[in-house]
Amino acid sequence: MDMLPFFMLPAAFLLMFLGFPVAFCMMVTAVLFGLVVFGDRVVFQFIEKIDDLSSNFVFAAVPLFVFMGSMLERSGIAEKLFEAIHIWTRRLPGGLALATVIMCILFAASSGVIGATESVVGLLTIPVMLRYGYNKGLISGTICAGGSLGTIIPPSVVAVVMGPMANISVGDILYGMTLPGLLMGVLYLIYIFVLCVLRPENGPAIPRSDDDPSFAEKLMISLRNLIPPVLLIFAVLGSILLGWASPTEAAAIGALASVLLTVLYGTFSGAALYEALIKTLKVTAMIMMVLLAGTLFTGVFIGAGGINTASRLIGEMNLSPWMLLSMMMLIIFIAGFFLDWISIVLIFVPIFTPLATMAGFDGVWFCVLFLIMIQTSYLTPPMAPAIFYLRAVAPPEITIRHMYRGVVPFIALQVITLFVTIAFPQLVTWLPQQMLQFR
């Protein structure tokens, strides 16, 4: 009976591989195993879990962040950001790709939703890079990797969902992920620049022309186009990091600011607002449904003694803490080949986080490592949601082969970020410690 909870994972995975929705798979598995373990009493456990989920105010940030991302898609902010950044990078090798990554970093810090970033950035930058003869693999890798930075750069919907699952403050996770997320973005920029210096044909610099703006004109364009999104970033991210607002309150500020931004840029309309609300409703319903299923699933697993049994088995295996950490990271990486981020978070965070803390690791540090591994799942086939997002907006001349080949170097950079974060835990722990004085 002690081993029964461990059959829940294969059962749920089997249903997923048969093509059933993730929420349905976890919910059915939870009900069946719950009835076997607890009998009719499992109903009371489910009611308690549903009440806990519905009354957790942190999750109120999810629809607000989704709405903010949906409105930013229609605000024209991407075009403004690209223009403001590209006028400074266009003469550099790989300048268009560099501008794309910088824009993705700023967009990620504005919205926290990855799908919106990649779709908007792809539609905007692919035609320009193709026009100047950029390597199709570099185009694909840049947009897929840059567009998914919203996972590891705060504010992040993934972190909002992860915090309650790990029983760790969302604010601490957002603080901790800031420096590793920026490190990953900087590694992307260094790789693109070095590659295009060594192989200029991959990303040629744009030649000078007579209509190039002067330095003063560049400065004015940058100030005009960058100030509104920077203010939005400060309103959302700054208010969280400085302790002025909770993630939920900051998300509400961002949602309002995104509407004001569409008004400022002259792109606001009733139709755009309606589309953003409908998309918010659909995405939020999907996330909350999977959250409910995952909560029931993990509730049965833990209630049936799964964590205690896992701890005992690991103790009998005599694994060192670092071997245990390596095993958990490998499992998350492999899971990323087949599962989406929310499934990975809901299945593994409640199981792995207690094991990591019992092994002596900092909970926030472990959650950030978890986020970095989730980041790789966006780019690793066969699931690779970042590639599917790109496929939806890419022209026919950019093939799936280009995309798979293009993301490989960026997966390597994500693994490097993971190792650097493991070797230097201060990257995660320093900022939360500094922010204590502002709370």
For the stretch 83-138, pLDDT in tens is 888 888 888 898 899 999 998 888 888 766 666 567 778 888 888 888 888 999 99
Choice among 103-117, 253-267, 388-402 with the minimum mean pLDDT: 103-117
Longest dimension (CA), the chain: 79
- When pLDDT is averaged across residues 244-261 and rounded to a whole number, the result is 85
- When pLDDT is averaged across residues 372-385 and rounded to a whole number, the result is 80
Higher pLDDT, 194 or 297: 194
> Where in the chain are the domains?
58-438
- The mean of the pLDDT values for the chain is 83
Residue 65: name the closest of 283, 268, 251, 318 by CA: 251
Looking at residue 97, what is its pLDDT?
92
Looking at residue 384, what is its pLDDT?
74
Residue 157: name the closest of 120, 110, 122 by CA: 110
Residue pair 325/367 in contact (Cβ under 8 Å)? The answer is no
The two three-digit tokens of residue 294, written as one number: 């995952």
Higher pLDDT, 163 or 308: 163
At 210, is the pLDDT very low, low, confident or very high (cuts 50, 70, 90)? low
Looking at residue 188, what is its pLDDT?
96
Query: Is the confidence at residue 1, as pLDDT, over 70?
Result: no
- When pLDDT is averaged across residues 421-433 and rounded to a whole number, the result is 90
* Separation CA 155–CA 169 (nearest Å): 13
At 195, is the pLDDT very low, low, confident or very high (cuts 50, 70, 90)? very high
Choice among 237-241, 249-253, 331-335, 357-361 with the minimum mean pLDDT: 237-241
Query: Is the confidence at residue 438, as pLDDT, over 70?
Result: no
Looking at residue 251, what is its pLDDT?
84
Report the b/e string of 365-396 with b at 16+ CB within 10 A.
Answer: bbbbbbbbbbbbbbbbeebbbbbebbeebbee
Nearest-Å Rg of the Cα atoms of the chain is 22
Query: Is the confidence at residue 305, as pLDDT, over 80?
Result: no
- When pLDDT is averaged across residues 291-316 and rounded to a whole number, the result is 77
Report the b/e string of 264-292 with b at 16+ CB within 10 A.
Answer: ebebbeeebbeebeebbeebbeebbbbbb
Q: What's phi and psi for 151, nearest 5 deg?
A: -70, -40
Q: pTM for this one?
A: 0.83
At 339, is the pLDDT very low, low, confident or very high (cuts 50, 70, 90)? confident
The two three-digit tokens of residue 33, written as one number: 């195993």
Residue pair 180/155 in contact (Cβ under 8 Å)? The answer is no
Looking at residue 181, what is its pLDDT?
92
* Separation CA 258–CA 19 (nearest Å): 37
Residues in Cβ contact with 59 at an 8 Å cutoff, skipping those fewer than 6 apart: 53, 160, 161, 164, 288, 291
Query: Is the confidence at residue 439, as pLDDT, over 60?
Result: no
- When pLDDT is averaged across residues 159-183 and rounded to a whole number, the result is 88
Angstrom CA distances, 8 to 1, 242, 299, stand at 12, 42, 12
